[in-house]
Structure 1
Amino acid sequence: MAVMGSRTHSRDFPDTVAVEKRMASSSTAAAATETTTERRGIPGAQFVEDVETYLNQSGLDVNSALSFLQERLQQYKLVEMKLLAQQRDLQAKIPDIEKCLDVVAALQAKKGTGEPLIADFEVSEGIYSRARIEDAESVCLWLGANVMLEYSCEEANDLLQKNLDNAKASLEVLVADLLFLRDQVTITQVTIARVYNWDVHQKRRMREAVTAEKDS
């Protein structure tokens, strides 16, 4: 029996449910005008072409609209931080699973040959112990939460391969989520700039109108 040190439990990385609910609950009259589709709970940002129409339809003044957009931008940033943390977790997990699969394959290759497998086990950080493994019939896998279970080499290989496939699929989804999210951040930043510039332009026009009226 061989003990495999990396934790190889199967776990789907959850969506950032709490954050997504926050984003959904923050919807105001401005959000009600959005027709952009969402992705896995991440609301799509509305690109505002006509600021005046946007404000009229949303029922917001400039300050309220900017406040809403700034809040939405911060929520996007929070979701991005959580997704990046999940991405780093997966990127660290995948090589560990691949190493475990290599070990199981090596054990299976040695089985029945009469040739032992010499392996160095990490006892603690930076400390290793050499082991001689002969005809291993099973391996022990960490399942997380200080739980270890014994599997046959065939069962361990199947479980590890399933975990690897799930991790790679989850990583692909996360990458797509991040690309979508960054697009929404850019759209929101552009919209904030457009609303702000429109407000500046409107105030300038009002000042010019007042000045012209006084001069006349």
Structure 2
Amino acid sequence: MSLPESPHHLLNLTPDELLGTTRAVRRRLDVTRPVPREVLLDCARLAQQAPTGRNRQRWDFVFVTDPDRRRALAELWRRGLDSPAAPNSHDGPSRHDFTPGTGWQAIADSLRHLVDILDQVPVLLVPCIRVGSRAELDDPATQAGTWGSVLPAVWSFMLAARSRGLGTVWTTPHLSYEREAATLLGLPYETTVQCALIPVAWTIGTRFKPARRVPVTEVVHWEHW
């Protein structure tokens, strides 16, 4: 009889293995096992080492573990997924946009699964970035600096989570109702911008393969487009 996989071996992944097998996890999130706060804090400490613009740490992580608050946040996420803007700005197309036989089918299946279980996922992470005002998001250059001051930290968190046997996925549907989410989480809406909603849970199994991608020569350009 084979023994259950232990996540401890993941701490020995090489950097290339870690980067090559950190996947967007939807279907393989274990909703039955709580995630200790100490594990989340360990991942957050590593995220703090990520670079930020002008070396200012303007980001904050809001971990939502209370069942009632998770349920309310998940409902905003589901409403956002069905909003008209969802196909262009969220975690892929709306859950109603998939038909059998399309190239989206695998994503459709995993997204439908996440729709069903999101409120049961033990931890929902909402990364935020503090701004002087929301007008900062109107200027492309300032906006790039703003997102560039939080995204490295979030990716570092996701890598640290993977190395400990946790799965994550970047999603954004709830941002169609960001103001309502801010009220739910007690965030100052005008000066704190939510970036995503990231489910965090132990994975069902720990072995993940590199994803299929187009040849790198199709996305790399030299000197000009």
Give the alignment's TM-score, normalised by structure 1. Answer: 0.20
Higher strand share: 1
Bigger Rg, which one: 1
Higher helix share: 1
Give the alignment's TM-score, normalised by structure 2. Answer: 0.20
